[in-house]
Amino acid sequence: MTRAQWRLLLTDPLDGPLNMAIDQAIMEAVSANRVPPTLRFFAWEPACLSLGYMQSIQDVDLARLTLAGWDIVRRMTGGRAILHTDELTYSVAVPTDDPLVAGGIVDSYRRLSAALVEGLHILGVTPEADKRADGHNSANGPVCFEVPSHYEITVGGRKLIGSAQVRRFGAVLQHGTLPLWGDIARICDVLVFTSDQERQHARERVLERATTLEQALGRSVSWREAASAMVEGFRRVFDLNLQETTLTDDEYKRAAELRATQYATEAWNSRL
C-alpha cells in the first residue's frame, strides 16, 4: 500500500491574527487540491488570547489584556478562551472526504487523538484520550482548559492537550494546543470576574484540571523536541510520508489578506 503523502510545516512564531489566517489559507488550499493534506506546528509571538467562534468578547477584560501586552484573536473553531504562550500548537487540514475525518467530529477527534497520544508516548508521557471528560460535567466558564471536552487528552486526570475542529470550504481543520511550561492559570488574569476572590477560584480550578508537559514529565521540553515527537507520532499512527516544506506564495498572500480583512479587525474579534 502506498503511504499517504502529506505536507509538514514548521512555521516561525507569529502573531495570533496571522496564525489563524494561515490556518484558514491552508484549509482553503487543501480543499481546492492546490496542496496536499497538511500538518502544521507553530508558536505565537506575542502571547495571544484566542476566543472560540461563538464566545462573547464580554468575557475579556480588555484593559488587563492591554496591560499584559497580549494579543487577541477570534478562532473559526468553537470552544472557550485559550492563552497561547509557552506552547506547541498543531493544526491538521484535510479534505472532507479523507477517511481520517469520516463520520462526525467526535469520531475524527478519536482518530486524530491517536497520533497526539503516540507523540506524547515518545516524549515519555502516559496520557489518556477519553470520550468522557474529567467528571466535572457541570463546569461552566470562559477558560478552555477549565471545561471538559470530547476526547480530550489528559494525564492523571488533568487536561494536557485541548483541540477544536471546524468543517468549512470543503475541508476539515483541527487545531489544538500542548502547553509546554509556565503558569497555565495566568489566562485568568485577563478575563472578567466579579471579584478578586472569583478570579482566584477560577485560577485554582484551572490548576486542578489542567497541566503542562513540564509538570507531566518532571522536566522541561523545548518546542523543537515536542514538535519532533508529534511529527513522529503522526508518521507512525497514520503511516504518512511527511514532506517538510513551506507555505506557497498563494497561501502567504491569502493569509495576509485574511489577517488584514478579518482576523486582525475589531469587527471580527469583537463581533459578539
Q: Which residues are catalytic?
A: 144
Compute and round to an integer the Cα radius of gyration of the chain.
Answer: 18
Cis ω on the peptide bond leading into residue 148 (within 30° of 0)? no
Strand order in the sheet with 48-51: 71-74, 48-51, 82-84
Question: Checking DSSP bridges between strand 48-51 and strand 82-84, what pairing results, if any?
Answer: antiparallel
The helix (run of H) or strand (run of E) holding residue 255 is helix 249-258
Q: Which grid coordinates are listed for 62? A: 480588555
Single-letter amino acid code for the residue at 173: L
| Alpha-carbon 105 to chain mean position | 15
Number of neighbours of residue 91 by Cβ within 10 angstroms:
23
Alpha helices in 158-212 (DSSP H): 196-209
Contact call for residues 202 and 193 (beta carbons, < 8 A): yes
